[in-house]
């Protein structure tokens, strides 16, 4: 015992570096918890920035006719909403959770490369600043869609080079973050934390990080060619010089399809981490979950052209990409059945994280099914570029990724700050979100099937009713999210809040190393690797 105490004293001696004072704490920090916090706060701010853009879109679409904004600005809003939400909100939020949780989940003292960790956060801020600055430029922000298809995007005004360089900075940020995550997971695990004992959130992030390193340079290359086509006389995407605009689409979607899985795989991982705790059962089919994640990641690289069925591909291409895409339903189905089986006959309770997680399973499955519909090439010819696709990917991103991010916030916040959140308010937040998100996106299926194109500021009168309903849902959803901010601030300040116990959730310590630490978590954790590894999640 005394030897252990001496050992602790020793390690304490080395790690007794508190944070720097004032604002410098955040600028120069190398602590994974500080950096995780910065990522999460930044993501939350961007969630509201992107959300405001979405509400501008929905306000314009509330009625047919031109109401508030001119078409060019409307298109800027659809473009910037997507860029901000993808690169500023969802991805950074998951990186924030990764920073906070991966070292704690695998029993590591910090991330493997702490200085680079700091740099990847600030590089993200720089990238978002660069892209946001285009809103105030001559010619406006990019308005050709987040996919930046040439030749349209080459007509962008002064914003184009800024957008291209923003993509470069965001790419560098993501690659550095991903390298850090891989090195942490492969090199920093506690001795007894073997790969097949890792929590699913860690597993999915390992695979996601691999995807990021593989695809971000591809996007960087694609936008570099846009830049040279516009400013340096190259002809990559210009048929007159022997190039082909469709080449850009192939390169973009080689990046773009894995990119959407970058946003969904950590979602899967977080759901797989949350559901067993509240079902009070081990995760059903742990190893099949790992293999399914790997399979989805592999498939994501060989299905890209299903985004461009109407571009005029050879029939063999259409068929190949159609069948390959359908294969994704198999590992995804494995996951959905595993989550359901985990809950089956579990002693379930329905705290807010669990409510969000269950809503995720149901609503993501719907988003998955509409994806399957569009995987069928001849059918997709009707759906392509309609509101049906808008409904589809919003179902996989909002009630899936965003809901799970909320679930993760409620799940871990008490552990981080040592106070319980207001369960009543949080449930109200959940029900408002879950109902309004369906009012918001479900009607868009009907609009798409009826033929309403996406990315238009005005529409034929027959689309009026569902657009109005969708817009009402959008405003309820958007304003309900302010509740989350209120609940988080209240929990952090801790006034009138219950203190959180060390395990926070009943028997959570059986499910993961993070619940064996005190609440609130000390600034440095696991200076010496833990002896025991919980295995209830297996």
| Residues designated as active site | 81, 110, 146, 173-174, 257, 259, 261, 272, 306-307, 332, 335, 454
User: Residue 209 in contact with residue 178, Cβ under 8 Å?
Assistant: yes
Q: For residues 527 and 530, give the distance between their C-alpha atoms in angstroms, rounded to a whole number.
A: 9
- Subset of 182-211 contacting other proteins (CB under 8 A): 182-184, 186-188
Sole window of 124-132, 377-385, 444-452, 462-470 interacting with other proteins (rule: CB under 8 A): 124-132
When binding is defined by CB under 8 A, the residue of 64, 71, 72, 122 that contacts other proteins is 122
Which helix (H) or strand (E) segment holds residue 3: the answer is helix 2-15
Instruction: Please give the Cα distance from 188 to 102 (Å, whole number).
Output: 10
Q: How far apart are CA 92 and CA 329, in angstroms?
A: 27
DSSP bridge pairs for 386? 453
Pull the structure tokens for residue 497: 């809040």
Q: In the complex with other proteins, which residue's Cβ is closer, 13 or 496?
A: 13
Q: Is 84 in the site for other proteins (CB under 8 A)?
A: no
Residues in the chain: 538
Among the listed residues 78, 118, 267, 471, the single contact to other proteins using CB under 8 A? 118
**CB-wise, 247 or 432, nearer to other proteins?**
247
Using the rule CB under 8 A, is 63 a contact of other proteins?
no
Binding residues with other proteins: total (CB under 8 A): 77
Query: In whole angstroms, what is the distance from residue 388 CA to residue 271 CA?
Result: 26
Residue 91 neighbours by CB distance under 10 Å? 26
Shortest reach from residue 9's CB to other proteins, in Å = 14
Among residues 6, 7, 12, 17, the one that binds other proteins under rule CB under 8 A: 17
The correct pick among 45, 59, 126, 538 for binding other proteins (CB under 8 A) is 126
CB atoms within 10 A of CB 247: 14
Selected from 44, 89, 141, 215, the binder of other proteins by CB under 8 A is: 215
Nearer of residues 178 and 404 to other proteins, judged by Cβ:
178
243 binds other proteins (CB under 8 A): yes
* Residue 31: CA count within 13 A, CB half-sphere: 22
Neighbouring C-beta atoms of residue 476, cutoff 10 Å:
16
Helix/strand/coil (H/E/C) assignment for every residue in 392-416: HHHHHHHHHHHHHHHHHHHHHHHHH
Nearer to other proteins, 234 or 438 (CB): 234
Within positions 501 to 530, which residues make up the interface with other proteins, using CB under 8 A?
527
Distances (CA, A) of 437 to 354, 440, 473: 17, 5, 6
CB 448 within 8 A of CB 386: yes
Residue 16: burial class (beta carbons within 10 Å; 0-12, 13-18, 19+): exposed
Q: Give the chain's count of helices (H) and strands (E).
A: 18, 0
- Residue closer to other proteins by CB (options 245, 294) is 245
* Closest distance of CB 336 from other proteins, Å: 31
Say whether residue 532 binds other proteins (CB under 8 A): no
Both tokens of 155, joined, read: 């007509």
Q: Give the CA distances from residue 390 to residues 57, 88, 447, in Å, rounded to whole numbers and listed in that order.
A: 13, 19, 10
Taking the least distance from each CB to other proteins, the nearer of 335 and 524 is 524
Q: What are phi and psi of 473, to 5 degrees?
A: -60, -40
535 binds other proteins, rule: CB under 8 A = no
| Residue nearer to other proteins on the CB measure, 30 or 52 | 30
**Of 437, 449, 441, whose CA–CA distance to 477 is shortest?**
437
The correct pick among 27, 195, 319, 379 for binding other proteins (CB under 8 A) is 27
Nearer to other proteins, 52 or 147 (CB): 147
What residues numbered 435-494 form the site for other proteins, per CB under 8 A?
none
- Are the CB atoms for 298 and 259 separated by under 8 Å? no
5 contacts other proteins (rule: CB under 8 A): no
Cα separation, 509 vs 518, whole angstroms: 11
Q: How far is the CB of 7 from other proteins (least distance, A)?
A: 12
- Under the binding rule (CB under 8 A), the answer on residue 304 touching other proteins is no
Per CB under 8 A, 298 contacts other proteins: no
236 binds other proteins (CB under 8 A): yes
Residue placing its CB nearer to other proteins in the complex, 245 or 451: 245
Q: How far apart are CA 1 and CA 78, in angstroms?
A: 62
Does position 168 interact with other proteins (CB under 8 A)? The reply is yes
**Residue 20 in the binding site for other proteins (CB under 8 A):** yes
Report d(CA 332, CA 509) in Å as an integer: 28
Interface with other proteins includes 302 (CB under 8 A)? no
Question: Does residue 29 belong to the site contacting other proteins (CB under 8 A)?
Answer: yes
- Should residue 130 be labelled a site residue for other proteins when binding is judged by CB under 8 A? yes
**Using CB under 8 A, which of 40, 86, 200, 220 touches other proteins?**
220
Binding residue for other proteins, selected from 165, 298, 320, 442, defined by CB under 8 A: 165
> Could you say which of 82, 83, 110, 201 contacts other proteins (CB under 8 A)?
110
In the range 354-373, which residues lie near other proteins by CB under 8 A?
Answer: none
């Amino acid at each position: 015992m005394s030897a252990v105490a001496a050992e602790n004293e020793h390690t304490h001696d080395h790690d007794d570096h508190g944070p720097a004072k004032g604002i410098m704490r955040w600028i120069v920090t190398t602590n994974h918890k500080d950096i995780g916090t910065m990522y999460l706060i930044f993501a939350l701010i961007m969630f509201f920035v992107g959300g405001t853009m979405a509400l501008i879109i929905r306000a314009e679409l509330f009625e047919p006719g031109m109401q508030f904004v001119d078409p060019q600005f409307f298109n800027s809003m659809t473009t910037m909403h997507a860029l901000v939400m993808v690169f500023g909100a969802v991805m950074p939020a998951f990186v924030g959770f990764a920073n906070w949780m991966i070292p704690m989940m695998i029993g590591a003292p910090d991330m493997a490369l702490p200085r680079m960790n700091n740099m990847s956060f600030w590089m993200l801020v720089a990238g978002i600043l660069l892209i946001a600055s285009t809103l105030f430029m001559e010619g406006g922000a990019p308005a050709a869609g987040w996919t930046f298809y040439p030749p349209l995007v080459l007509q962008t005004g002064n914003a184009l080079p800024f957008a291209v360089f923003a993509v470069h900075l965001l790419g560098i940020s993501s690659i550095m973050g991903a390298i850090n995550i891989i090195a942490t997971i492969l090199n920093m695990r506690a001795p007894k934390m073997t790969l097949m004992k890792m929590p699913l959130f860690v597993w999915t992030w390992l695979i996601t990080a691999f995807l990021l390193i593989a695809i971000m340079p591809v996007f960087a290359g694609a936008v570099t060619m846009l830049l040279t086509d516009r400013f340096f006389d190259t002809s990559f995407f210009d048929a007159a010089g022997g190039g082909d605009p469709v080449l850009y689409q192939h390169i973009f979607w080689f990046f773009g399809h894995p990119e959407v899985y970058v946003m969904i795989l950590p979602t899967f991982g977080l759901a797989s981490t949350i559901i067993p705790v509240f079902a009070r059962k081990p995760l059903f089919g742990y190893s099949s979950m790992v293999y399914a994640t790997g399979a989805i990641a592999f498939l994501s690289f060989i299905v890209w052209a299903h985004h461009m069925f109407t571009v005029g591909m050879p029939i063999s291409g259409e068929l190949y990409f159609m069948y390959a895409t359908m294969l994704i339903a198999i590992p995804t189905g494995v996951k959905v059945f595993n989550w359901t089986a985990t809950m089956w006959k579990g002693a379930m309770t329905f705290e807010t994280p669990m409510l969000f997680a269950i809503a995720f399973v149901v609503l993501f499955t719907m988003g998955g099914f509409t994806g399957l519909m569009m995987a069928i090439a001849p059918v997709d010819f009707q759906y392509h570029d309609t509101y049906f696709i808008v409904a589809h990917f919003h179902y996989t991103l909002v009630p899936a990724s965003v809901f799970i991010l909320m679930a993760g916030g409620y799940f871990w916040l008490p552990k981080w700050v040592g106070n319980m959140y207001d369960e009543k308010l949080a449930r109200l937040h959940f029900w408002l979100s879950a109902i309004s998100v369906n009012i918001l996106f479900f009607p868009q299926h009907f609009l798409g099937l009826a033929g309403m194109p996406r990315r238009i500021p005005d529409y034929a009168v027959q689309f009026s009713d569902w657009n109005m309903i969708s817009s009402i849902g959008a405003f309820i959803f958007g304003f309900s999210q302010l509740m989350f901010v209120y609940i988080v601030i209240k929990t952090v300040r801790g006034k009138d809040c219950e203190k959180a116990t060390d395990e926070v959730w009943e028997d959570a310590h059986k499910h993961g190393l993070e619940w064996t630490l005190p609440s609130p978590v000390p600034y440095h954790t696991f200076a010496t690797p833990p002896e025991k590894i919980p295995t209830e999640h297996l």
